[in-house]
């Protein structure tokens, strides 16, 4: 969900189940400054979210909750802990939620998505912020140069 949508961790922990539109694979989030925006998720994320929700035994409206009773809304630290443990299992260092957001932005740019659309997806007011997020691979710069310049 973090990678597919590019959401901030604060946005994902505030998300409720009723904000998810599975038919259109989108949800409304409230970003910095309580600004509303639509984010989109891929088909794989849809399947995983639906499977996750089928397994839940609680009535909490939050999309992501703790695994143990009282099944409270998952917090920032909980997501960070889960990702750190997953990273340790896979021998990957420095796994944190924001890395998924940056990676999504970088991959989108590398695949040709216009920077203005990436800016919109991430909820950035200034395009400079979006440009700072994306780490452009030099080999893609060379390919683009050949394609557009010659």
Q: Is 84 a catalytic residue?
A: no
Q: Is 40 a catalytic residue?
A: no
DSSP per-residue codes, 86-97: HHHHTT-SS--H
Rounded Cα–Cα distance for residues 15 and 21 (Å): 12
Q: Is 96 a catalytic residue?
A: no
The residue from 3, 8, 35, 140 that is catalytic is 8
CATH of the domain at 94: 1.10.443.10
The residue from 35, 85, 98, 145 that is catalytic is 98
Q: Is 124 a catalytic residue?
A: yes
Domains held by the chain: number: 1
Count other C-beta atoms under 10 Å from residue 100's C-beta.
20
- DSSP character at residue 134: -
Domain that holds residue 70: 2-148
* Backbone CA torsion sign across 49, 77, 130, 133: negative
Q: Is the Cβ–Cβ distance between 74 and 68 less than 8 Å? A: no
Would you write out the chain's pLDDT as a tens digit for each of its 150 residues?
999 999 999 999 999 999 999 999 999 999 888 889 999 999 999 999 999 999 998 999 999 999 888 999 999 999 999 999 999 999 999 899 999 999 999 889 888 898 899 999 999 989 888 888 776 666 666 777 778 877
Q: Is 133 a catalytic residue?
A: yes
pTM: 0.84
* Backbone CA torsion sign across 61, 84, 94, 88: negative
Rounded Cα–Cα distance for residues 120 and 39 (Å): 9
């Amino acid at each position: 969900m973090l990678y597919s949508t590019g959401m901030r961790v604060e946005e994902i922990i505030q998300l409720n189940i009723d904000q998810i539109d599975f038919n259109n694979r989108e949800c409304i989030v409230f970003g910095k400054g309580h600004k509303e925006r639509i984010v989109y998720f891929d088909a794989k994320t849809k399947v995983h979210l639906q499977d996750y929700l089928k397994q839940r035994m609680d009535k909490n409206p939050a999309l992501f909750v703790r695994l143990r009773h009282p099944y409270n809304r998952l917090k920032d630290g909980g997501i960070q802990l889960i990702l750190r443990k997953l990273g340790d299992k896979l021998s990957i260092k420095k796994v944190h939620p924001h890395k998924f957001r940056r990676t999504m932005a970088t991959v989108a740019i590398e695949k040709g998505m216009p920077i203005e659309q990436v800016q919109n997806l991430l909820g950035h007011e200034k395009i400079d912020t979006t440009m700072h997020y994306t780490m452009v691979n030099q080999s893609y710069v060379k390919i683009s140069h050949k394609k557009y310049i010659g």
